[in-house]
Amino acid sequence: MVSAEFNPMGTTALVTGASSGFGVGYAHALAERGADLVLVARRQERLEALAVELAETYGTVSTVIPLDLSRTDAVAELVADLRSREITVGTLVNNAGFATYGTFVDLDPARELEEVDVNVRALTALTHALLPGLLTTALKHPHGAALVNLASTAAFQPVPHMAVYGASKAYVLSFTEALWYETRGTGLKVTAICPGPARTEFTEVAGNDELSFYRRQLSVDDVMHTTFAALDRASVPPHAVSGTQNAVLARLSTLSPRRAVLNTIGRLSAPGRRR
């Protein structure tokens, strides 16, 4: 029997948001499996340090591209840069994203639109631009090409006080599952990964690290395990939730009355609620 294990050896993987958290985790996991890397994030020094670490640990060649994906021209610039370097991306991990926290009417509208730009627009544009190369790689390297989009357990229900974030992740989940269907039979492994709260810089950026439901947090390794367990399956699931409890809660949120779920999440996420 031919193994279905995800094997990107000899291909190139692009990871957005690669300067911290899950992005670093994905870079290490992909390098360990033999892929070269394109590392994309705003913080060049961190990317360069990661590239050195990957080279020393795995012998991986990494291309560092510092870029702010909230810029409207960022994806076009990134794609042009890849073409000029003659890099074909075989695996795309759309990891870049952030959240804001607070009552929507009180939040900075420019920052909210920036959140949509990174979480939705850039992810969509980059996926569209690179998908032909992913499909070509899938033909040439069986079980060696993937599209991984980072959604969230926030995708399964509205999230008061993180309204834009929850909506953006609902988009990512729906979008990825549709692509999973459209690319069936091509050999491309497509999935949306849905972590719950995790020990990364995410909550510091969002400003909601004191909420009670952040007591139980996933590690980066937990999310990597979920991702690659999904990619190693012969039939990759359209989405995978990281953490057993998170998977149960996500399932319950789809089965319970939507208004009841909304009221519960609203109470748990209310500003001023402490651990």
Residue 246: which of 200, 201, 208, 214 has the closest Cα? 214
What is the rounded distance in angstroms from the CA atom of residue 184 to the CA atom of residue 116?
Answer: 28
Give the three-class secondary structure for 119.
Answer: helix
Residue of 26, 165, 171, 181 marked active site: 165
55: how many CB neighbours lie within 10 A of its CB? Answer: 14
What is the rounded distance in angstroms from the CA atom of residue 65 to the CA atom of residue 42?
Answer: 8
Question: Residue 269 — φ and ψ, nearest 5°?
Answer: -100, 10
Can 171 be counted among the known catalytic residues?
A: no
Do 43 and 66 form a contact (C-beta atoms < 8 A)?
A: yes
What is the rounded distance in angstroms from the CA atom of residue 146 to the CA atom of residue 189?
Answer: 4
CA quadruple 219, 145, 149, 22: dihedral positive or negative? positive
Residues with catalytic annotation?
165
